[in-house]
Structure 1
Amino acid sequence: MASHFADRGWMVLFPQRRGRGKSGVAYGEGLASDGSGYSCKVEIALAGFERAVEDVDAVVRHLRGRMDVDHGKLVIGGVSRGGILAIAYAGVRPNIFCGAINFNGGWLGRGCPSHEFVNPLLFERGATTEFPSLWLHGNSDQYYRIEHCRANFDRFRLAGGRGTFVAAPMGHALMFKPALWGEQVDQYLRDLRD
């Protein structure tokens, strides 16, 4: 995936939020108190999202200190929780990014009935951006039904957001298949550079 962007002249950074990758810190993005996984309770899920925002804030501080980064051409993107975080963060922290790409984004999966409330609420936070975003979703994603994803996009647009929604014949691992999204991403990035 990184090669796709780097081959087109974009520097790529894959930060890991606390508790992900090999960060060595406890993961705390809205887990149930019994350790069974993500909590379906709205207040716990939203607190986990706010923790993730703090982590992206730390990444942005790091980027601002780098001289090899074009601070006028930053694009944020993510997969799954990272996808919804990319869209929402661009709205809650304006004037940092010029684009946002969402790969199969959502905060709570369909196993939580509250996903019908939490996901659109968080996506709406990104509707204030001055640039369009790109939403890439697999139409057979095991966590987020394509109808739910389209409804999230519609709510985002009703709240004033601009963007393009693309459904691809894939599941949650869509990011690993540039053949299914490369054309749309390339056009999106070209438009950002113009």
Structure 2
Amino acid sequence: MRLLNTLVLLPLLALMTAPPVCAQVTFGPSGAEGDPFRRQEWRVPSPDSDIAAHALLFRPSGAGPFRLAVIAHASTQNGLRRAQMPQPEYRALAAFLVARGFAVLVPERLGHGATGGGYVEDQGGCDEADYARSGRVTADEIFRALDYVRMQDFIRKDAAIVIGHSAGGWGALALANADPKAISSIIVFAPGRGGHANDEPNRICAPHTLVAAAAEFGKAARIPVVWLVAANDSYFSPAFSKASVDAFRRSGGTADFRTLPAVGSEGHWMIETEAGVKAASGELARALNQLKPAATRTP
């Protein structure tokens, strides 16, 4: 019994003495039928060397290597709401991807929930909003997590995909300038910043600045993007999203824009729900089947 207790304690002691970045710490239950398999809690790098970001990893059965899908979560400028955010999970979307052979990473970014730390992706107020800088910082956080996990032996080193939602989608757009061999495609759901300004639906903080930043991201884009928005999105409506897509394309980015059916009372959160993933499943499947690694473009 003493030997058994020692063996049980060894992994815990290793975690206690390890540096902030470490591998999975907990295996979750498989859950009910249809849930993602092999749910694990991980710690991944963040821009703060003293803080390892919390993350969830879902893995298909088998040893792999699997293609990696990274889901980048939404955010808020409200510090109290960020601190109270539960661990992003996107369970239905993760299940959809795991069923198609992807290992799925959902990292939590600095300044959110249990990860804590400084909120490095702050865009500032309306008068001085710097959406381009905010997006690039978010992109850096996404890539740090992606790059760490793709070094694991059960993950393919190439052809990862990034799926971003709202502010996470905005960061994913900024990440379209990455190496197309590492990231083959990007899918974004209602990407943007500054929506619901002052908590008012259909009001965006400095909308022209946001469109200009989308154009800036398009100039350096090397990875194709699928841009999706629900018909009843009151943060970044289909009409506004189309203007942002057009700016992204005009400056050189490749984007396939689709409007999805209205889901629930607020379509902005559709991809967090089972009904939303079901409504988006056709476009998601088409994107996964058709998007190929892009040819390298000179920035």
Q: TM-score range by the shorter chain?
A: 0.7 to 0.9
**CA distance, structure 1, for counterparts of residue 283 and residue 185 of structure 2:** 14
Whole-Å Cα distance in 2 between the matches of residues 72 and 179 of structure 1? 28
Compared with structure 1, are the counterparts of its residues 40 and 60 closer, same or farther at alpha carbon in structure 2 (3 Å cutoff)?
A: same
Alignment of 1:77-156 (within 5 A): 77-91=163-177, 93-95=178-180, 96-109=182-195, 111=197, 112-122=204-214, 124-126=216-218, 128-156=220-248
* C-alpha deviation, 1:133, in angstroms: 1.4
- The alpha-carbon deviation at position 18 of structure 1 amounts to 0.4
Q: 1:185 is matched with which residue: 284, 288, 296?
A: 284
| 1:10 to partner: Cα distance | 1.2
Question: How far apart are 1:128 and its partner, in Å?
Answer: 3.8
Structure 2 residue matching 1:11: 3-state secondary structure: strand
Instruction: Normalising by structure 1, report the TM-score.
Output: 0.84
- Out of 269, 287, 298, the position equivalent to 1:173 is 269
CA distance in 2 between counterparts of 1:44 and 1:125 reads 13
Find the structure with the greater CA-based Rg.
2
Aligned residue in 2 for 1:48: 134
Q: Does the CA-based 8 Å contact 1:80-1:106 persist in structure 2?
A: yes
Q: 1:180 to 1:145 in 2, by over 3 A?
A: same
In the TM superposition, what is the alpha-carbon distance from 1:94 to its structure 2 partner?
2.9
CA separation of 1:80 and 1:156: change in aligned 2, threshold 3 A = same
Q: 2-side partners of 1:126 and 1:149: how far apart?
A: 14
In structure 2, list runs of 5 or more residues that go unmatched.
1-92, 198-203, 294-299
Give the Cα separation in 2 of the matches to 1:120 and 1:106: 12
- Give the paired residue count: 187
Identity rate, percent = 23
Aligned to 2:96: 4
Query: What is the SS of the residue equivalent to 1:14?
Result: strand
2 CA distance for matches of 1:31 and 1:133?
A: 23
Q: Name the structure with the higher strand share.
A: 2
Query: Could you give the per-residue CA deviations for residues 59-117 of structure 1, whole angstroms, max 9, x where no partner exists?
Result: 133134212111221001110001111122122x2333100000111022152441321
After TM superposition, the structure 1 stretch with the greater mean CA deviation from structure 2, 184-193 or 67-76, is: 184-193
Aligned-partner SS, 2:145: helix
Residue identity matched to 2:269: A
